[in-house]
């Protein structure tokens, strides 16, 4: 394994900041939550729009908690916790409903650019991928303990990789001979299955699948969306930035039907029950100028919904 290097980049460049702020239509005296504080880029802009309101921010990564220490505004409260507990903490702070909720579901640049975190295919590092370093399971433990069938299902479900079964078989065979402990060791096993000239995209999908499993990302998203029905007041706004089709499909379904399956419910009179109205039919996308400044924003999709009465 190569020696980890220091990457001199910002913690994280926030994506579609202007679109988020405009979409949330911030009330200066309102209460807001940033469910994924990260480097605080979105949070800072929200705080700048407040006068007597308050922003409650959450993140389970201790590196984000260190960034939050630099925020000295009395209109800001940070909690190091997964956003699945957002309602419990808001209850603790005496907040029953919010004027707006933001979640940027992407992996931060700080996480990607740290080889020891194991998120990136670029660097050779330990197979970790935990957003919360205190969590039990790592990508490495999954690679070594999941059965061939479980791995195949994982790659197909979360990576949408057609050759998931063959990949899983290769991993199981390889781990019998030697531990698979680093990102590049895993990539070497996956190399024969990668389409020519699309290797990087292929490896990224495999890493995405492992990362989702390690961090329980889709299950946590489902909890957050369901929770938003309780904690966002009528007329309040929900803004979600997603980076792959699985997340975006769930968010789209939820904003159109009130559930991640996209099954529209009706009342006794046949009227559709829509707890949110999408601000626009198609998601917001980063501009070409933003993509030029921050290439990692290219896959971002922002959807915003308005809570109905």
* H or E element in which residue 306 lies: strand 301-307
Residues 283-300 have pLDDT tens digits of 999 999 999 998 888 889
SS3 153: helix
What is the architecture, at CATH level 2, of domain 133-215? Orthogonal Bundle (1.10)
CB distance 73 to 123 below 8 Å: no
How sure is the predictor about 271, in pLDDT bands with cuts at 50, 70 and 90? Answer: confident
Structure-token pair, residue 283? 């998601």
pLDDT value for 270 = 84
Give me the phi and psi of 231, to 5 degrees please. Answer: -100, -10
pLDDT value for 257 = 94
Place of tokens 């009465």: 309
pLDDT value for 265 = 87
How sure is the predictor about 12, in pLDDT bands with cuts at 50, 70 and 90? Answer: low
CB distance 240 to 302 below 8 Å: yes
Give the count of beta carbons closer than 10 Å to the beta carbon of residue 137: 14
How sure is the predictor about 9, in pLDDT bands with cuts at 50, 70 and 90? Answer: very low
Structure-token pair, residue 51? 């006068």
pLDDT value for 11 = 54
Q: Is the pLDDT of residue 92 over 90?
A: yes
Q: Is the pLDDT of residue 5 over 70?
A: no
User: How far apart (Å, rounded) are the C-alpha atoms in residues 187 and 206?
Assistant: 9
pLDDT value for 162 = 82
CA-to-CA dists, residue 309 to 173, 193, 232, 276, 277, angstroms: 56, 51, 11, 9, 11
- Please enumerate in sequence order all residues whose Cβ is within 8 A of that of 25, keeping only pairs 6 or more positions apart, or say none: 100, 237
Q: What is the mean pLDDT of residues 125-131?
A: 91
Lowest mean pLDDT across 5-9, 117-121, 190-194: 5-9
User: How far apart (Å, rounded) are the C-alpha atoms in residues 137 and 49?
Assistant: 39
CA-to-CA dists, residue 256 to 241, 248, 250, 282, angstroms: 16, 12, 10, 11
User: How far apart (Å, rounded) are the C-alpha atoms in residues 97 and 190?
Assistant: 47
Which part of the chain is CATH 1.10.150.170?
133-215
Q: Considering only CA atoms, which of 246, 249, 236 is closest in space to residue 304?
A: 236
Residues 33-86 have pLDDT tens digits of 999 999 999 999 999 999 999 999 999 999 899 999 999 999 999 999 999 999
Any idea what the Cα angle at residue 20 is, between residues 18 and 25, rounded to 5°? 100
Residues 186-238 have pLDDT tens digits of 999 999 998 888 888 899 899 999 999 999 999 999 999 999 999 999 999 99
CB distance 123 to 182 below 8 Å: no
In whole numbers, what is the pLDDT of the chain averaged over residues? Answer: 90
Give the count of beta carbons closer than 10 Å to the beta carbon of residue 169: 14
Q: What is the CATH number of domain 17-109+217-307?
A: 3.40.50.150
Q: Is the pLDDT of residue 108 over 70?
A: no
Which part of the chain is CATH 3.40.50.150?
17-109+217-307
């Amino acid at each position: 394994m190569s020696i980890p290097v220091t990457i001199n980049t910002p913690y994280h460049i926030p994506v579609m900041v202007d679109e988020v702020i405009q979409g949330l239509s911030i009330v200066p005296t309102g209460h807001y939550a940033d469910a994924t504080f990260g480097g605080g880029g979105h949070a800072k802009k929200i705080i700048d729009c407040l006068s007597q309101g308050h922003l409650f921010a959450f993140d389970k990564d201790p590196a984000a908690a260190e960034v939050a220490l630099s925020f000295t505004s009395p209109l800001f409260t940070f909690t190091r916790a997964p956003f699945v507990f957002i309602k419990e903490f808001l209850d603790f702070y005496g907040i029953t409903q919010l004027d707006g909720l933001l979640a940027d579901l992407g992996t931060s640049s700080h996480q990607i650019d740290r080889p020891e975190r194991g998120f990136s295919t670029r660097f050779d590092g330990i197979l970790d991928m935990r957003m919360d370093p205190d969590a039990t399971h790592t990508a490495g433990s999954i690679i070594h303990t999941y059965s061939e069938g479980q791995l195949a299902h994982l790659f197909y479900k979360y990576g949408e990789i057609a050759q998931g079964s063959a990949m899983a078989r290769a991993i199981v065979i390889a781990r019998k001979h030697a531990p698979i402990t680093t990102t590049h060791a895993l990539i070497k096993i996956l190399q024969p299955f990668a389409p020519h000239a699309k290797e990087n995209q292929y490896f990224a999908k495999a890493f995405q699948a492992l990362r989702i499993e390690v961090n329980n990302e889709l299950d946590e998203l489902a909890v957050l969306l369901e929770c938003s029905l309780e904690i966002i007041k009528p007329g309040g706004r929900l803004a979600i930035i997603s980076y792959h089709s699985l997340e975006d499909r769930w968010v789209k379904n939820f904003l159109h039907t009130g559930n991640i399956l996209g099954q529209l419910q009706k009342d006794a009179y046949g009227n559709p029950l829509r707890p949110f109205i999408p601000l626009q039919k198609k998601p917001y996308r980063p501009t070409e100028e933003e993509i030029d400044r921050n290439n990692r924003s290219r896959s971002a999709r922002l959807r915003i919904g308005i809570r109905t009465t």
